[in-house]
Structure 1
Amino acid sequence: MAVVVVTGGTRGIGFGMAKELIARGATVVICGRSGVDEAAAELGATGVVCDMTDRAQVEALWEKAAALGPVAHWVNNAGVTTSRKHLADLPVAELETVVSANLLGVMNGSAVAVRHMLAQGSGTVWNMEGFGSDGRTMPNLTAYGATKRAVTYVTDSLAKELKGTPVKAAHLSPGMVLTDLLTHDYAPEELEKTKKIFNILADKVETVTPFLAEGILKGVKNGGRVAWLTGGKIAFRFATAGFRKRDLFS
Structure 2
Amino acid sequence: MTNIVLTGGTRGIGLGMARAFLERGHRVALCGGRAGSVERAEAELAGRDVLAMVADVADRSQVQALWDAAAGGFGRVDLWINNAGVSHRREPLWRLPEDEARTVVGVNLAGVLNGTAVAVAGMAAQGSGHVWNMEGLGSDGRTVPGLGVYGATKRAVTYLTGSAAGEMPPGVSIGLLSPGMVVTDLLTHDYDPQELRKARRMFNILADRVETVAPWLAERAVSQARNGAHVRWLTTGKVLRRFAAAPFTRRDVFGET
CA distance in structure 2 between the aligned counterparts of 1:236 and 1:40, rounded to whole angstroms: 39
TM-score, structure 1 length as denominator? 0.98
Correspondence for 2:148: 142
Q: Aligned partners of 1:8, 1:84: CA distance in 2, in Å?
A: 22
Preserved contact between residue 78 and residue 130 of structure 2 (Cα < 8 Å)? yes
Aligned partner letter, 2:18: A
Deviation at 1:2, TM superposition (A): 1.1
Cα distance, 1:69 vs. partner? 2.1
AA at the equivalent of 1:128: M
User: Could you give the per-residue CA deviations for residues 36-61 of structure 1, whole angstroms, max 9, x where no partner exists?
Assistant: 12212311321011000111111110
Deviates more, 1:64-73 or 1:109-118: 64-73
TM-fit CA distance, 1:169 = 0.6
Residue 78 of structure 1 corresponds to which residue in structure 2? 84
TM-score for both structures, normalised by structure 2: 0.95
Q: After superposition, what is the alpha-carbon deviation per residue over 1:129-166, rounded to whole angstroms, capped at 9, x for unaligned?
A: 0000011111101000000000001110110111x621
Matches of 1:75 and 1:58 in 2, distance apart?
12
Establish whether residue 160 from structure 1 lines up as the match of residue 166 from structure 2: yes
What corresponds to 2:39 in structure 1? 37
User: d(CA) in 2 for partners of 1:64 and 1:221?
Assistant: 25
211-220 vs 40-49, greater mean Cα deviation: 40-49
**Distance (whole Å) between structure 2 residues aligned to residue 41 and residue 5 of structure 1:** 18
Among candidates 93, 97, 103, match of residue 97 of structure 1 = 103
Counterpart Cα distance in 1 of 2:159 and 2:53? 28
Q: Distance in 2 between matches of 1:177 and 1:225?
A: 18
Please say if residues 30 and 40 of structure 1, whose CA atoms lie closer than 8 Å, have aligned partners that are also in contact.
no
Matches within 5 A, 1:47-126: 47-67=52-72, 68-126=74-132
Paired letter, 2:116: S
> Take 2:29 and 2:107, find their aligned partners in 1: how far apart are those partners?
19
Instruction: Indicate the SS of the match to 1:78.
Output: coil
Answer yes or no: is the 8 Å Cα contact 2:130–2:225 preserved in 1.
Answer: no
Matched, 1:3 2:8: no
User: In structure 1, the residue corresponding to 2:78 is in which secondary structure?
Assistant: strand
Q: Number of matched residues?
A: 249
Counterparts of 1:196-235 in structure 2, within 5 Å, are 196-235=201-240
The corresponding residue for 1:14 is 14
Give, as a single letter, the amino acid of the residue that structure 2 aligns with 1:5: V
**Residues 51-107 of structure 1, C-alpha deviations (whole Å, 9 max, x = no match):** 001111111100110011211100000010000111111111111010111000000
Q: What one-letter code is carried by the residue in structure 2 that aligns with 1:3?
A: N
Q: Distance in 2 between matches of 1:235 and 1:89?
A: 35
- Give the unaligned 5+ runs of structure 1: none
Q: Distance in 2 between matches of 1:214 and 1:36?
A: 24
Which structure 2 residue ranges, 5 or more long, are not aligned? none
Partner of 1:186: 191
Q: Sequence identity, in percent?
A: 57
Deviation at 1:219, TM superposition (A): 2.1
Per-residue deviation at 1:4? Answer: 0.2
After the TM superposition, which of the residue ranges 216-225 and 130-139 deviates more from structure 2?
A: 216-225
Matches within 5 A, 1:168-183: 168-183=173-188
Distance in 1 separating the partners of 2:235 and 2:225: 16
- SS of 1:46's partner is strand
